[in-house]
Structure 1
Amino acid sequence: MLSRAFTKPSSHKQSPRNDEQQSHRSVSIHEYEDCIFGFMDIDVPLIVCDGHDRDAGGEAAYLTLREVLRASVGMIGEGLLGMTEKVVLDRGRVCAVKRFRKLSVRRGEFGRSIQRLALASRRCQYLVPVRAYMYAKRMKFVVSDYYPMGSLADLLDGARKHGHTALGWNQRLTIILNISLAIAFIHSQSPGQDKRLPMNVHGNIKPSNVLINVDFTACLSDYGLAQLAERLEVSDTSWQLKPPPRPPQPAPCATALSQENDIYNFGVIMLDLLGGIKSMKRCSKEERVEIRRGKFDLLEAPMEGKGREEAMKVFEVALACTDPSPEARPSIDRLLFDLGNVCY
């Protein structure tokens, strides 16, 4: 997977019938300063983010490009920013590598931004921190922790495909609370001097960026990466390598970087956790009244009594978050207050 970025087709012309037998050659230009090299001949170390060189017994300090390229075992996700692969290293450590299709910043700006994001995310237990990164001519990627339970999108879509319910209500509510705390931390950060790269905006909140721990707590990944990369449409052939597209949903406001759009995207996740496409369609004032009366089967996870009351409160919060007017959406502080009232 990752190593393909360092090979290119031979210049000899091939007939269409011989495409599958087309030869490849490795890039062998050695130029460490510009990070252009043949990975079979030189082992270039990744740049470790500040504060991570002592983690995991010092393993992060010795992570090299050759090791990462050879250790890729398959793609686990793909989006508008790039693709994510699972990497199993020689020492048994498992990581996730997110490779960008196209960055909107240069090398120095990329490195400084990743270092700032890594330092900030280490202070919040609900954010997935970046461990290391590489900026090469033909490849730019970041390395982070791997979550064997996968993403929220994986859990929900996999269960719905087979007609099952993947998560109970308490687990769903825990995930909602964890995400809200991650967003609160991000929105409390100083925006920074560069208005193009605000540190107080996530920029790409969606179910596939909510990673699940074995205890069903959640962490938010890709903090700040949308500010560094250009969004490119995924080709149709990419669906051959990953699960079918998700059911239609309200389009997240992911194109503009703002806290209001972070809140909107969080609202979409809450609606997805409540009942998927059913809850997303039931949003008019008249239908809200019918939902409160129990006329519509809105909720995906079976619940009665206190659980149902909590779910209805979360539904009202989610509707406020997805208000068409950005100015009308609640702040994250207001959301924390409202969600606190749900639980207590």
Structure 2
Amino acid sequence: MHFRILALLGFFFLAVLFPSAEPDLASDRAALLALRSTVGGRTLLWNANLPSPCSWAGVQCEGNRVTALRLPGVALSGQIPDGVLGNLTQLRTLSLRFNALSGTLPSDLASCADLRNLYVQGNLFSGPIPESLFGLSDLVRLNLASNKFSGDFPAGFGNLTRLKTLLLENNQLSGSIPADLKQLKLDQFNVSNNLLNGSIPEGLGAFATSSFSGNSLCGKPLASCSQDIALPAGEPSGSPGQPGGKKKKLSGAVVAGIVIGCVFGFIFLVILLIYLCRKKGSKKSRSVDVATFKHQELEIPGEKPVGEVENGGYSNGYSVAAAAAAAMTGSGKGEVNGSAGAAAKKLIFFGNSARAFDLEDLLRASAEVLGKGTFGTAYKAVLEAGITVAVKRLKDVNVAAKEFKEKIEAVGAMDHQSLVPLRAYYYSNDEKLLVYDYMPMGSLSALLHGNKGAGRTPLNWEIRSAIALGAARGIEYLHSQGPIVSHGNIKSSNILLTTSYDARVSDFGLAHLVGPSSTPNHVAGYRAPEVTDPRKVSQKADVYSFGVLLLELLTGKAPIHSLLNEEGVDLPRWVQSIVREEWTSEVFDLELLRYQNIEEEMVQLLQLAIHCAAQYPDKRPSMSEVRSQIEELCHSSSQKDRAPQLDQVNEVNDDTSSR
């Protein structure tokens, strides 16, 4: 009898000290429902009739507890009060990024002691960063970027000894960066576009300058700090040898004299330059020294750093003219005279292309730098007759004239509405120029990753799917020209757009003309795993690159910026990792999530992109199959009105895990 009483008392104390998992899960469920009731926006598709929240979209459970909550880009708004998220005590990952949540960050997040990943970038959170965050000792990744956090830069980040990612850019933080941050072993760090000042701690100097831009900071990797700036206010700034420890200061009269002298010196230099230029112009004739002209006018633009994205900058109006002039005059090795020189002064046009201009016209054309890409620099040339063309000046082309002519004429013979037409070319020992139709809307890369401000026009699903279809048709046509014909350099900056957003594939057929040094990291994010020589890219490798391009269209992420992903992996692997976690809409671009009734088509295109980017070439479809599936998808999207659904995630998971 006494034994039974003791056993019952033991069970009672165990029940009090170690409550069952069900009440804890019930508490998690209540916290999630409280969150849904406090934030507005798109309705969270949670079935409140289910006793367990583990099947709800965005909710992940382990051990009968909620361990991850991912609600990115679902148009949540309003403020999250204390007493909601703090009840999810077993939470390890919280992602509320790209919503419109406001107010202060809930201080009760400190109750989530196991929290490792916190992503709230792209919201409207304001006020100081709560001190409660600095008690989360297990925190590994913290992204508070693009909010309205203000106040002094907190010193508590140094307590987060496991932190690998700290992103605070585009806020209103002030003060200096605490020195104890250098103790952290950070892989990612960004505090750009805040109100910070002072010197950068020594241990953070290894990060890029872009991580600190938009502040009043100094020190490596930015400009070094002057001694006066580094000294605290009120401390003597002079050297020990000076009386009173104070540095002599220049009088106002001396400073004014120096300024006036600099101004007069500058005016004198300007007048001298104008005089020399006019003197040189008066002596200008057709017998100008070719070698000198090429060196002074042609080599300078080639050294000018230009971004990869089209429409990235402007020249001074001489780049194309200089290239054309150098080409027109030949290589300087006897081509100027005789019949060879006459041939060297001509553009070679293809087929029925209109011969409405020549090199003389290019010489006089105004020039604008469009971009510096894998195979050379591209320019927009506006001729006096009103014709606008794109001129590509090739680099690292060391093939003989006969071989160049054969290969480039094969490129010029390709005729398809989804290709950028090659109209003419010029070849000499020193200069190789290609003349294309000009595409006024620039590249897909510029459209996806360019202007992110308020004036940006979002790319809707119809435009993106149509671009995917147009690009697929162009690449399919290239592959139909022979079993060994491939593009070799498929990427978003080589998909150009007309005024009606029709896609045109450019730079096809050029990979076989240039040396291996011309294709370094520009295509690294798109290159198939099996490609070792960029001049020998198979059609299956093209399919892989196109799969990455589709992922770029769907996610809005650029493959060459893979480290911006929280997981720090390339785009295909990042997408697959999110898909495996059964929350597919996490991968989609926020701009796509604004549109209704397209979820099924988005998931289908995602499946196709993952299939194209399979690791092994024999697992990838042909471009004909890819084009056919995108056509069906576009037709289905335009003909049917489906309710939103993302329950095909398991199909994507099965497809991913089978590979």
State the TM-score, normalizing by the size of structure 1.
0.75
Is residue 437 of structure 2 the alignment partner of residue 145 of structure 1?
yes
SS in 2 for 1:159: coil
Q: 1:298 aligns with which of 572, 588, 592?
A: 588
SS in 2 for 1:73: strand
Please give the alpha-carbon distance, in whole angstroms, between the structure 2 residues aligned to 1:113 and 1:179. 23
Q: CA deviation at 1:128?
A: 0.8
Give 2:358's aligned residue. Answer: 64
Cα gap change, 1:6 to 1:96, in 2 (>3 Å):
farther
Q: 1:330 aligns with which of 621, 631, 648?
A: 621
Give 1:174's aligned residue. Answer: 466
Give 2:546's aligned residue. Answer: 266
Q: 2:482 aligns with which of 190, 214, 221?
A: 190
Q: 1:313 aligns with which of 596, 604, 610?
A: 604
Please give the alpha-carbon distance, in whole angstroms, between the structure 2 residues aligned to 1:314 and 1:51. 38
Cα gap change, 1:228 to 1:136, in 2 (>3 Å):
same
Q: Which runs of 5+ in 1 are unaligned?
A: 11-23, 192-197, 236-244
Q: Deviations over 1:203-232 (max 9, x none)?
A: 111111111011111100111011112254
Cα gap change, 1:31 to 1:314, in 2 (>3 Å):
closer
Please give the alpha-carbon distance, in whole angstroms, between the structure 1 residues aligned to 2:327 and 2:441. 38
Please give the alpha-carbon distance, in whole angstroms, between the structure 2 residues aligned to 1:142 and 1:34. 22
Letter in 2 for 1:219: R
Structure 1 runs (4+) deviating above 6 angstroms are 26-35
Q: CA deviation at 1:250?
A: 3.1
**Does the 8 A contact of 2:369 with 2:380 survive in 1?**
yes
Is residue 382 of structure 2 the alignment partner of residue 100 of structure 1?
no
Please give the alpha-carbon distance, in whole angstroms, between the structure 2 residues aligned to 1:5 and 1:146. 31
Q: How does 1:1-344 map to 2 (within 5 A)?
A: 7-8=294-295, 36-37=335-336, 44-52=345-353, 55=354, 58-59=355-356, 63-120=357-414, 122=415, 124-160=416-452, 164=456, 166-191=458-483, 198=484, 200-232=485-517, 250-253=525-528, 255=534, 256-277=536-557, 280=572, 282-284=574-576, 287-288=579-580, 290-292=582-584, 294=585, 296=586, 298-300=588-590, 301-343=592-634, 344=636
**Does the 8 A contact of 1:204 with 1:226 survive in 2?**
yes
Q: Deviations over 1:289-342 (max 9, x none)?
A: 5234x4x25233234443221111111111111112122111112212322332
Q: CA deviation at 1:9?
A: 5.1
**Does the 8 A contact of 1:5 with 1:138 survive in 2?**
no
Letter in 1 for 2:352: G
Letter in 2 for 1:73: A
Q: CA deviation at 1:80?
A: 2.2
User: For this pair of structures, how many residues does the alignment match?
Assistant: 298
Letter in 1 for 2:396: K
SS in 2 for 1:341: helix
Please give the alpha-carbon distance, in whole angstroms, between the structure 2 residues aligned to 1:165 and 1:4. 47
Please give the alpha-carbon distance, in whole angstroms, between the structure 2 residues aligned to 1:28 and 1:131. 17
Please give the alpha-carbon distance, in whole angstroms, between the structure 2 residues aligned to 1:319 and 1:145. 33
**Does the 8 A contact of 1:28 with 1:37 survive in 2?**
no
Please give the alpha-carbon distance, in whole angstroms, between the structure 1 residues aligned to 2:328 and 2:603. 61
Please give the alpha-carbon distance, in whole angstroms, between the structure 1 residues aligned to 2:595 and 2:330. 64
Give 2:18's aligned residue. Answer: none
Q: Deviations over 1:18-68 (max 9, x none)?
A: xxxxxx9x9799669978449xx989221111231xx3xx41xxx322322
SS in 2 for 1:340: helix
Cα gap change, 1:76 to 1:36, in 2 (>3 Å):
farther
**Does the 8 A contact of 2:329 with 2:345 survive in 1?**
no
Q: CA deviation at 1:101?
A: 0.8
Please give the alpha-carbon distance, in whole angstroms, between the structure 2 residues aligned to 1:208 and 1:28. 27
SS in 1 for 2:593: coil
Letter in 2 for 1:250: G
**Does the 8 A contact of 1:100 with 1:141 survive in 2?**
yes
Cα gap change, 1:303 to 1:249, in 2 (>3 Å):
farther
Q: Deviations over 1:157-201 (max 9, x none)?
A: 21347795641110000000001111111111125xxxxxx5x21
Please give the alpha-carbon distance, in whole angstroms, between the structure 1 residues aligned to 2:399 and 2:482. 20
SS in 2 for 1:8: helix
Q: Deviations over 1:147-166 (max 9, x none)?
A: 11111111112134779564
Letter in 2 for 1:126: S
Q: Which has the higher contact order (CA 8 A, sep 6+)?
A: 1
Q: Which runs of 5+ in 2 are unaligned?
A: 1-289, 298-321, 558-564, 566-570, 637-659
Q: Deviations over 1:272-305 (max 9, x none)?
A: 111123665543366345234x4x2523323444
Letter in 2 for 1:224: G
Please give the alpha-carbon distance, in whole angstroms, between the structure 1 residues aligned to 2:445 and 2:620. 24
Letter in 1 for 2:378: T
**Does the 8 A contact of 1:118 with 1:129 survive in 2?**
yes
Please give the alpha-carbon distance, in whole angstroms, between the structure 2 residues aligned to 1:170 and 1:216. 10
**Does the 8 A contact of 1:46 with 1:134 survive in 2?**
yes
Please give the alpha-carbon distance, in whole angstroms, between the structure 2 residues aligned to 1:339 and 1:305. 19
**Does the 8 A contact of 1:201 with 1:257 survive in 2?**
yes
**Does the 8 A contact of 2:330 with 2:336 survive in 1?**
yes
**Does the 8 A contact of 2:475 with 2:623 survive in 1?**
yes
Please give the alpha-carbon distance, in whole angstroms, between the structure 1 residues aligned to 2:292 and 2:519. 17
RMSD: 3.6
Please give the alpha-carbon distance, in whole angstroms, between the structure 2 residues aligned to 1:177 and 1:28. 38
Between Structure 1 and Structure 2, whose CA radius of gyration is higher? Answer: 2
Give 1:194's aligned residue. Answer: none
SS in 2 for 1:204: coil
Give 1:21's aligned residue. Answer: none
